Homo-oligomer: A and B are copies of this chain.
Amino acid sequence: MAGPSIRAIPEGDDRERLVCTECGFVLYDNPKIVVGSVARWDDKILLCRRAINPRRGFWTLPAGYLELNESTRAGAEREAWEEARAKLAIESLLAIYDIPRLSQVQLIYRARLVDENIAAGPESLEVALFSWDEIPWDEIAFPTVRWALGHEKEVQAGGDLTPRGNPVDPAAPQGL
């Protein structure tokens, strides 16, 4: 199988796209939208231990790619169900993270769990509810998970509800 694998500038375009030499298809690939949530039950936060790479075995927020014809809230709800069998009541947009290196824009919502029932979905080794002091900061899968947890803590500490963006210093530990 070939698939779109040759870089070429299509007629009428101004940049290279991936083109298939077998069928002529031009792949107009664009950045992807990741939707996720920081979901609370009482004072605890839902995290999922990843069963898949990248970062298998590390903890993450329920999040994943938005699907076609899906609203961003519905996508965050679906991901919480798929990864943690969790039902969400979404509250507000916590943060928008712009990750051009990965061609991603992440929209992370604040949410409450509708009930305490959670269970590992196929992409999770286990799922758990952590109080702030219990969060396994050394085993967090991605920087954006740290950012979102830190931003959630800011909001809980009485910060305003304005959606956050990328931290000024993205390497700084957040929420510690």
Q: Which of B1, B31, B68, B107 contacts A25 (CB 8 A)?
A: B1
Task: Say how many copies of this protein the assembly contains.
Answer: 2
A66 at the interface (CB under 8 A from B): yes
Considering the complex, give the chain B residue whose CB is closest to the CB of A24. Answer: B1
Residue contact A96 to B93, C-beta cutoff 8 Å: yes
Question: Once the chains are docked, how many angstroms separate the CA of A32 from the CA of B160?
Answer: 29
Contacts of A2 in B (CB 8 A): 23, 25
Contact flags (1/0) for A47-58 with B, using CB distance below 8 Å? 000000000000
* Chain A residues within 8 Å of B, Cβ to Cβ: 1-4, 15, 20, 22-25, 27, 29-33, 65-74, 93, 96, 98, 100-101, 103, 105, 107, 160-163, 165
